[in-house]
Amino acid sequence: MIEDIELEALINDVYEYYGFDFGSYSRASLKRRVSRVFYLDGFKHFHEFLSKVRTDPEYCKRMIDEITVNVTEMFRDPSFYMTLRKDILPLLGTKPFIRIWHAGCSTGEEVYSMAIMLKELGLLHKSILYATDINAAVLETAKSGIFPLRMIKDYADNYRDSGGQEDFSDYYIANYGYAKFSEDLSEKMVFSQHNLVSDTSFNEFDLILCRNVLIYFDNNLQKRVVNLFDDSLAVLGFLALGTKETIKYSISPTKYKQFEREKIWRKIKE
């Protein structure tokens, strides 16, 4: 493992040279991730690693892509998707237009899951799905809609457990170990790079999903990001987090009402 002071030196340099601010990330995970790239790329001394990061913007980009945790799934936590399908999306469906933001979308599995449900509910044509991440590389994968075929069986199970009744294999074409998801699904998706630490609100949404991203942030940054979501959410809109995340420490409880026992909160006043 690298040392604490080495990690702080890296955080400082990445901010000073490139403007990416990791100063409010949870240290335990960040330290493991930075150590991982350091050893993976064969460095022996930390100062060599540091000077590589400082002098080589391409390498710095790679490092950032490697330290972010991008593990994701389609229909991760089926009961959560069941609630979206049965309760939340039908409520939003009464509106003329549905705007959804996936913040920290990683390689996009979550976004394609959403599009499948919207399509089945007959709502996709009047929806728009903004999907953002700090990591440019994962956004390229997300745009392509191509996911490893070996994961598809689990995804099909998750889909079914979340209330899906169609033939899941109708949504993709399998080829050489990959599944390419249909362009009908991606038509309404807009992908762009957005940093939750430093970028501002860019639209007003009816539903914001930010799942398993806040766990990488300390309490202060969590608070700032939840307030960014609050600024970006229409009244009566919904905010959805990961199963072990909460807005409890971040925002006045009188403003949001939790939806049953799911990690979904409705904004009840401006």
Interacting residues with another protein (CB under 8 A): 1, 26-29, 32-33, 69, 71, 212, 214-216, 218-219, 222, 242-246, 249
Q: Find the shortest distance in angstroms from Cβ 186 to another protein.
A: 24
- Which CB, 48 or 154, lies closer to ligand SAM? 154
Residue 183's CB is within 10 A of a number of other CB atoms, namely 8
Q: What are phi and psi of 62, to 5 degrees?
A: -60, -45
Q: Which of 113, 186, 212, 250 binds ligand SAM (CB under 6 A)?
A: 212
CA proximity to 262, closest of 91, 83, 111:
83
Q: Look up residue 22 and give its two tokens.
A: 């990791």
- Which CB, 188 or 263, lies closer to ligand SAM? 263
User: Rounded to an integer, what is the distance from CA 136 to the centroid of its chain?
Assistant: 13
User: Which of another protein, ligand SAM, none binds 110 (CB below 5-8 Å, type-dependent)?
Assistant: ligand SAM
Residue in the block written with tokens 């009840």: 268
Beta strands in 119-220 (DSSP E): 127-133, 146-148, 172-175, 178-181, 189-193, 205-210
How distant, in Å, are the alpha carbons of 153, 247, 266 from that of 112? 16, 25, 23
- Which CB, 28 or 71, lies closer to ligand SAM? 71
Q: Find the shortest distance in angstroms from Cβ 199 to ligand SAM.
A: 8
- Which CB, 3 or 157, lies closer to ligand SAM? 157
- Which CB, 29 or 182, lies closer to another protein? 29
240 DSSP β-pair partners: 209, 264
Helix (H/G/I), strand (E/B), else coil: 128: strand
133 counts as binding ligand SAM under rule CB under 6 A: yes
Residues 230-269 that bind ligand SAM (CB under 6 A): 242
228 counts as binding ligand SAM under rule CB under 6 A: no
User: Which of ligand SAM, another protein, none binds 27 (CB below 5-8 Å, type-dependent)?
Assistant: another protein
- Give the DSSP H or E segment for 250: none
Residue in the block written with tokens 């240290």: 27
136 DSSP β-pair partners: none
69 counts as binding ligand SAM under rule CB under 6 A: yes
User: Which of ligand SAM, another protein, none binds 91 (CB below 5-8 Å, type-dependent)?
Assistant: none
Per CB under 6 A, residues contacting ligand SAM are 68-73, 76, 104-106, 110, 133-135, 138, 195-197, 211-213, 216, 242
